[in-house]
Amino acid sequence: MLVVSPRWLWCAETGLREGAHLIVKGDRIVDVVAERPTLDAERIELEDGLLTPGLINLHNHAMSAPLFRGLADDIRPDDLPGHILFSLLMPLGNSVADILTPEAMGDATEMALLECLMTGTTGMLDVWRHQQHAFVTRATGLGLRTWSCPYMYTVPNLSMDAAGKPVWSGEDASDRSFDFVMRLHAERHQGPDGLASIGFGPHGPDSNSPELLRRIDRASRELGAIVSIHCAQNPMEIAAVKAAHGKGSVEHLADCGLLRPGVILAHAMFATDEEIGMVRDAGATIASCPLGFARSGRGVPMARLLDSGVRLGIGTDGVTLDMVDELRGAAILAKTQSGKPSAGSAERLLTAATRDSADALQRPDLGRLTPGSRADLVLFDLSGPRYQPVWNPLRALITNGQGSDAHTVITAGEVRVRDRKLVRGDAAAVTRRGRAAIEQAWAEAARQGAIPASLASQRAFA
């Protein structure tokens, strides 16, 4: 038994409470009580603590964060020959998967996962390349709950033509992609009683054939598995789908069976109001990643998404890994786009990152602090000067806070981070190994030209 006694306790179902105590038995929350329980139990007490359900990162490529940190920021007009996705992010991601050994890929990934956990994320949907198969073992080892949705492609290779437009090519990889996920699911999927879940990650409606998408639809329904797909994420994708199928990306997904509960559309940045309405009415979810697009000079339509009534989750898309940062980015966009200070409130965005994301993953046992829910929790320490004095702890966290103020992180009832320290494992060693792997990848990618020379020459202190 474990008793957590914060000053404030919040979840979307029950709202904000002060002075309550939360009791955990096994991997479940068994009760929330007003009186200090006289149980023989392990206790965690924090005078200025805010206890919330653990944050869920609904769209991520964790390893991309350290890989592109600094490198993909502040890009100048002549730095890249085309769209950043096609001239840097995808090609470098692919070549690093060839450069690094599976072990080194695992090391880089683990460093990223460590950052997620230490900043209050307890659950994460990650879309990763097949060479990164150490992901499941490393995430589970740290105690992070994950939904792995490995990339799937019909046409696997992406290059650019002279005009900077994306060109997909290569042998049909549909069977290979599909078999990889089916095998991974058979071997590693644990379901609700474990930390690791396996789903399908078709890259997008332009890179996956309708046949592959329909096959994914059938298999995911049979397995009860999640599907994550990038959709309406850039004008090139939309044009390619229109040219090939004569319709918009969202409608195309609907025709392939992939607009329904259990399907999470990443970005939908360029979806029309009508298309967002289709996603909402079908019960699918949009995972929006504000900082990823801000990096490229674009604001995701956060105010429209929040107003539309679509189920919305927030992801970091491998740009930052700190969900508190990402939620603040979402709040700023919602307010500036709508002109309304009330838009993108702390409570609304925390709801997106907890209960609504749990529902998107079809896991009503997560994202809540109600009896019977799984004990995935984060206790933020609001005692520092940046929070004082506290008028409202949710606003203090989202407006002024930082993920590294996560004092205690619990998943499946087990304390993984306590007093800001990893309980099991050596955080410094994980960081050292991850950093070495990325340094090696950068050096070799620059030598091979996967980091364009114009960028490679810019490294500070190179």
In this complex, which beta carbon is closest to Zn ion, that of residue 32 or of residue 300?
300
Picking from 439, 400, 421, 412, the residue whose alpha carbon sits closest to that of residue 114 is 421
- Pairing between strand 285-288 and 28-33? unpaired
Residues 451, 94: Cα–Cα separation, whole Å: 12
**Structure-block tokens of residue 417:** 């981070």
In this complex, which beta carbon is closest to Zn ion, that of residue 49 or of residue 318?
318
**Structure-block tokens of residue 416:** 């993984």
Residues 152, 145: Cα–Cα separation, whole Å: 22
CB of residue 33 to Zn ion, shortest distance in Å: 41
CB of residue 284 to Zn ion, shortest distance in Å: 16
Contact set for Zn ion, span 287-346 (CB under 5 A):
317
In this complex, which beta carbon is closest to Zn ion, that of residue 126 or of residue 359?
126
In this complex, which beta carbon is closest to Zn ion, that of residue 61 or of residue 407?
61
CB of residue 189 to Zn ion, shortest distance in Å: 21
Contact set for Zn ion, span 209-238 (CB under 5 A):
none
In this complex, which beta carbon is closest to Zn ion, that of residue 22 or of residue 263?
263
CB of residue 327 to Zn ion, shortest distance in Å: 18
Q: 210-223 vs 174-188: helix axis angle to the nearest 10?
A: 10
In this complex, which beta carbon is closest to Zn ion, that of residue 80 or of residue 289?
289
* Rg (the chain; Cα; Å): 21
In this complex, which beta carbon is closest to Zn ion, that of residue 143 or of residue 292?
292
CB of residue 61 to Zn ion, shortest distance in Å: 6
Per DSSP, the three-state class of 111 is helix
CB of residue 230 to Zn ion, shortest distance in Å: 6
CB of residue 17 to Zn ion, shortest distance in Å: 36
In this complex, which beta carbon is closest to Zn ion, that of residue 237 or of residue 317?
317
CB-based burial label for 409 (10 Å; 0-12, 13-18, 19+)? buried
Is residue 20 a contact partner of residue 34, using CB atoms and an 8 Å limit? yes
Query: What Å distances lie between residue 184 and 60, 130, 198, CA to CA?
Result: 19, 10, 7
Query: What Å distances lie between residue 77 and 300, 414, 451, CA to CA?
Result: 21, 48, 16
Is residue 110 a contact partner of residue 142, using CB atoms and an 8 Å limit? yes
Segments of 48-165 assigned E as strands: 49-53, 55-60, 121-126, 145-148, 151-152, 157-160
Q: Give the per-residue contact string, 86-115, with Zn ion (x = CB under 5 A; - = no).
A: ------------------------------
Contact set for Zn ion, span 247-266 (CB under 5 A):
266
CB of residue 267 to Zn ion, shortest distance in Å: 7
Q: How many residues bind Zn ion (CB under 5 A)?
A: 2
Given the rule CB under 5 A, which residues bind Zn ion? 266, 317
